[in-house]
Amino acid sequence: MFIATQSTTSEKRSQKLISLLKTVADNERQTHKLYTDFLQSSHSISDDITDLCHTALHEDKSHFDEILACLKRLEATSHSQQAQKLFFTPEYPLTTENLLQHLRDIEAFSVKAYNEICNISMEYDYQVFDLSYRNMNENLAHLDFVSNLLNNLHAGERL
């Protein structure tokens, strides 16, 4: 009886982890596209902002690839669960303000989701924990960057 209960708890934890990882993978895919769109649609941004955008874009692509590799490993030993699709692909064309607001919302959600993944995977799956902890911190930097861009835009400053 005890063994059966323990096994069920472990399976639930594994399914929750997989669902959250699918959600952040979808977020990383979307933010990678939004940073690309921002770079293509903004022709007069400073070199500093362009560099930071390229960094965020490449980091989010890397997060996406690494999360997919984690999912492949975890799904081999667990029943899959649907991802929570919380953000929908926006309708184009987007204004710069809408694009940045969308980016900010997804980055903020990803930070929360990675924090939850860290809490679940701590002392359970160190590979997932280390990856999620790093991704959370990199996305915190992206969130800070995008929030500053939005503040500058609202203040009427040049990006």
- Residues in contact with Fe ion by CB under 5 A are 31, 60, 139, 142
Residue number with CB closer to Fe ion (10 or 151): 151
What CA–CA distance (Å, rounded) separates 56 from 34?
10
Q: Which of 88, 69, 70, 113 is nearest to 30 (CA)?
A: 88
Instruction: In angstroms, give the least distance from the CB of 12 to Fe ion.
Output: 28
Residue number with CB closer to Fe ion (52 or 74): 52
Burial (CB < 10 A; 0-12, 13-18, 19+), residue 126, is: exposed
Instruction: In angstroms, give the least distance from the CB of 27 to Fe ion.
Output: 8
Residue number with CB closer to Fe ion (132 or 139): 139
Residue number with CB closer to Fe ion (60 or 125): 60
Burial (CB < 10 A; 0-12, 13-18, 19+), residue 70, is: buried
Instruction: In angstroms, give the least distance from the CB of 7 to Fe ion.
Output: 36
Q: Closest-CB residue for Fe ion?
A: 142
What CA–CA distance (Å, rounded) separates 68 from 71?
5
Instruction: In angstroms, give the least distance from the CB of 138 to Fe ion.
Output: 7
